[in-house]
A and B are shown apart, each in its own frame.
Chain A
Amino acid sequence: MIKGIGHAGILVSNLDEAVALYCDLFGLERLTQVTHWPGEGMKNVLLKVGNQAFEVMEPTDPEGGLARFLERRGEGLHHLNLEVDDVDGLVKSLEAKGVVTLGRGPGFCFLHPKSTKGVLFELIQSAK
């Protein structure tokens, strides 16, 4: 079951600058410090938006998928994260429906945008 919107992923070319801008314009606070994710080829900061968040991301691997996305489409909204109560169960049922999954790990899974009207969804196991 889908429980709600967890966060919106925003891809930018300069993380520090974007975080400072969003904090200034919208009065948001940082939930995390700059965190590096070498496997994903990016670094990120989570900003608090009520009970949800913005995930602001900057590519760190010039050959990675995020860098290519940034080059092709420019800065902007990148993915939508939904909190679910059972990722594995949901993914199994989605795959049975022919939905194509992308990167997958413990407690999370991305869905290919071609299955979901151009939207890259990230499903994440909710702790709530």
Chain B
Amino acid sequence: MIKRIDHISIAVKNLDEALGVFKAVFGLESVHTETIADQGVKAALIKVGDGEIELVEPIDPEGGVAKFIERRGEGIHHICLEVDNIDEELKSLEAKGVALIDKQPRKGLAGMIGFVHPKATKGVLVELAQKV
């Protein structure tokens, strides 16, 4: 079951500069910064009410986020939905023939996560996350 929008992720070229912009514009500040090697990014989480905005800067020039910025520029990259059971969600989507980037959950910044391919969801990159 989908519980809520956990976060919206924004691809940026320079994490520190982007954090400065979000602080200056909205008064929002980072609560957590981490390098996620297997996604080729460093990421910062900014608390917005009970959800979050995630800023991601590519550190791997061959990674998905780097390619996204090259193709489309900085902007909204994906949306993360919190689910109560990630195994069940991924299994049920796979049974429906939905293209998944992750068939098995893996560890991410938002918990145990799995990405759904945007070609299955009208161009929207959806991350599903179960809190741990």
Contact = CB atoms under 8 A, between A and B. Distances in A.
Contact of B48 (A2, A94, A116): A2
Contacts of B74: 117-119
Contacts of B96: 24-25
B4 A2 contact: no
Interface size class of A (residues with CB under 8 A): 35 or more
A92 interface: no
Contact of A75 (B53, B79, B122): B122
Where chain A touches its partner, the secondary structure class is mixed
Contacts of A51: 4
A16 B8 CA distance: 24
B48 A4 contact: yes
A22 interface: yes
Contacts of A18: 122
Interface in B98-117: 98, 116
Interface residues of B, number: 44
B84 to A, nearest CB: 11
A76 B21 contact: no
Contacts of B10: 117-119
Given A5-B48, A94-B25, A97-B25, A28 B123 contact: no
A117 B22 CA distance: 9
A79 B124 CA distance: 12
B122 A76 contact: yes
Contacts of B78: 77
B36 interface: no
A51 B122 CA distance: 23
A27 B122 contact: no
Contact of B21 (A22, A25, A78, A117): A117
Contacts of B5: 5, 8, 49-50, 52
A26 B81 contact: yes
Interface of B: 1-5, 8, 10-12, 18, 21-22, 24-28, 48-51, 53, 55, 72-76, 78-79, 81-82, 93, 96, 98, 116, 118, 120-126
Given A26-B81, A76-B125, A119-B76, 11 more contacts: A5-B48, A5-B51, A10-B122, A22-B122, A73-B72, A77-B76, A77-B79, A80-B53, A80-B76, A117-B21, A118-B74
